[in-house]
Structure formats: C-alpha cells, structure tokens
Structure 1
C-alpha cells in the first residue's frame, strides 16, 4: 500500500452549498475541525458518518460536466445505495438535484446531477444488502 484515501475532492462554484447538499443526502458534519485542511470560502468539507470525507473546492470559471456529452465528460461519479428509488428521488430533487436519465430505472438505478452539475446515481440496494 502506498497511500490512504484522505478525501474525494469535487470542483464547484459554491463549496459550502455543495457540502450542505451532500450532508442532506449522506448525513455528517460540514466544515468539522480537521488539522488536514484549512477552511475558507474556497474550501469546504463534509465528514460523513461512514468516515468518508468529501471536500469541495471553488474553481474560477467552473464548467460542470454535461452527461453524457464526451466534450464535457462526467470526470467521476458517486453511487448511493437506496432501499426505495422513488422516495430517494423525491428527497434529492427537493435538495436541488436534477434528473439526467430516468430511463436507467429499468436497470435498477437512476442518474442525477448535484446542484453543481456532477453526475451521481441512486442504485436500488439488493435485499441482501438493505
């Protein structure tokens, strides 16, 4: 092993707003004290209950991905397992997400964009995992 994953960093225009969006989805604490990072208007963090840390970094002239446009690719995406796709969809839409591909539902997942345009999926959990 060479390293430990410290956090996943997402570029965006509004770091604290995006951190609050993911806090509402995953739980946790926005901008919790942590000696690894200095917090300011250009950097926000989310410490999730699972231990994962997401960081949000302001980028001048941020250009969100346009899924599935290869000229502006998704760059990365996050998958979130949920027991009830319809209920989870209602919740993320109320938080500011937008639907990118409702047709994927036939396969057990749906594709969305967070408020900054990053794609993410809600994935139906199997009964074994739920």
Structure 2
C-alpha cells in the first residue's frame, strides 16, 4: 500500500507565469495563476506547477557541481517536428551530438532540462 500519491511536479523559476505558458504551448492545458504559484491544468499525466523562487539559478547540464536534480521526459511522434516547435517556444538545445538516438535534450526558458523522446 502506498503512503502517498503524486500531487504535482513543481518547477522553481523566476517567472512562473512565463514558464507555465511555455509548457502550456508545449503540452496543452490552461494556466491558472495564484500569487507566486501557477498550475498547468487539463494536461494528461502528472500535474505540473510552477513557483517563484527568488535567486533561482538554473541547473547546468551535464555538470555534477550544478546538478539538474530531475528532468521531464516528453513523448512525441516526430522528433524533428517537435524540436522545431520547442525551439520556437524558447527552448534551447543542450545536447545535439547524436541525432540518431531516440531522445534529444533541451532546456526550458528557465533552464530546466527536458527530453523529447520518440514515441
């Protein structure tokens, strides 16, 4: 028997509204604001939320001294098409060496790593 269930995955950032907007464009859903906190609702899978973190320093990937802590794996049908879309939304490429593998690594506008994975 489980002790708890996952309530949300919460990302720290300087601008939760902007980061929630990035993920709303990427995953769909609606941005719901509260003071210092934003929820992304109406999205399949684990809920995402975003909170203001004064002094936020983005993780550096791949660096052990500035660890990413965790990342999101996002499944897509077409890696090339999805890459064009996430870059247009403001993501940056973190790793592009091997274009033949089944995933690609990016950072969201606040610097959190995420992967697009072939589905």
TM-score by length of 1: 0.86
Q: Pairwise CA RMSD of aligned residues?
A: 1.3
Please report how far the alpha carbon of residue 51 of structure 1 lies from its aligned counterpart in structure 2 after TM superposition: 5.1
Q: What pairs up with 1:104-115 in 2 under 5 angstroms?
A: 104-115=98-109
Find the counterpart in structure 1 of residue 111 from structure 2: 117
Q: Could you list the runs of 4 or more consecutive aligned residues of structure 1 that deviate by over 3 angstroms after TM superposition?
A: none
Please report how far the alpha carbon of residue 106 of structure 1 lies from its aligned counterpart in structure 2 after TM superposition: 2.3
Find the counterpart in structure 2 of residue 29 from structure 1: 30
Find the counterpart in structure 2 of residue 79 from structure 1: 73
Superimposed CA distance per residue, residues 95-116 of structure 1 (whole angstroms, 9 cap, x where no aligned partner): 0000000124322111000000
Superimposed CA distance per residue, residues 71-99 of structure 1 (whole angstroms, 9 cap, x where no aligned partner): 11111100111111110000000000000
User: CA 1:2–1:104 in structure 2 vs 1: closer, same or farther (change >3 Å)?
Assistant: farther
Q: Which runs of 5+ in 2 are unaligned?
A: none
Alignment size in residue pairs: 118
Superimposed CA distance per residue, residues 34-85 of structure 1 (whole angstroms, 9 cap, x where no aligned partner): xxxxx11x11110143153211011111000000011111111001111111
Find the counterpart in structure 1 of residue 3 from structure 2: 2
Q: Which runs of 5+ in 1 are unaligned?
A: 33-38, 126-130
Find the counterpart in structure 2 of residue 15 from structure 1: 16
Find the counterpart in structure 2 of residue 96 from structure 1: 90
Higher strand share: 2
Q: Is the 1:23–1:48 Cα contact (8 Å) retained in structure 2?
A: no
Indicate whether 1:60 and 2:60 are aligned.
no
Q: Could you say what secondary structure the match of 1:30 adopts? A: strand
